Amino acid sequence: MVKSIDNRAGNLAVTKILLIEDNDLNRDMLSSRLEKIGYQVITAVDGSQGHSLAVLESPELILMDIGLPDMDGWEVTKLLKANDSTRNIPIIALTAHALVADRAKAVEVGCDDYDTKPVEFARLHAKIESLLAKNK
């Protein structure tokens, strides 16, 4: 189980990940796999809901689909990185686009890493663990 120290309570707490993904199949598959290895996963189906949950829930990491309805992942990332309460939450952009320009834009808007769909789970998990270790 993936655990971290919750210094406020002095207890072990499960690491919370916010998954912002509009595709039901992708959201269910990825959240299920993350929960199976011990993460607590909160999900959002669009950019507005994802932004609100990031502010309210203060997850340790965000997995951000880029092609979201209403407000795309680039816009949500910019808003989160401009907010004092959410700017330090690591964000991994998830997109079906594997162009160099997409990777550059991810960095430009403030994403901490980038991964392509379909998700290769072992690779994504390694990126998640690396960012969580850096953020401790």
Residue 11 to residues 18, 112, 132: CA-CA distances in angstroms? Answer: 21, 28, 18
Question: pLDDT value at position 13?
Answer: 65
Using CA atoms, how far residue 63 sits from 7, 8, 11, 110, 126, in Å, is 24, 25, 25, 13, 13
pLDDT at 9: 44
Average pLDDT for residues 9-13, to the nearest whole number? 50
H or E element, residue 131: helix 121-134
CA triple 114-4-113, angle to 5 deg: 5
Domain boundaries, given as residue ranges, for the chain: 3-134
What are the DSSP calls for 58-108, one per residue? Answer: --SEEEEESS-SSS-HHHHHHHHHHSTTTTTS-EEEEES---HHHHHHHHH
pLDDT digits (tens, 9 = 90+) for 69-92: 899 999 999 999 999 999 999 999
Q: Are 15 and 39 contacting, i.e. CB atoms less than 8 angstroms apart?
A: yes
Query: Does the domain made of 3-134 have the CATH classification 3.40.50.2300?
Result: yes
Task: Locate 102 and state its tokens.
Answer: 């997409």
pLDDT at 33: 97
**Mean pLDDT, the chain, whole residue set:** 90
Instruction: Give the three-state DSSP class for 44.
Output: strand
Q: What would the mean pLDDT of 18-31 be, rounded to a whole number?
A: 97
Angle, to 10 degrees, between the axis of helix 73-82 and the axis of helix 47-57? 30
Confidence of residue 10 (pLDDT cuts 50, 70, 90): very low
How high is the pLDDT of residue 14? 87
Over residues 85-129, the pLDDT tens digits come to: 999 999 999 988 777 787 888 889 999 999 999 999 999 999 999
pLDDT confidence of residue 6: 42
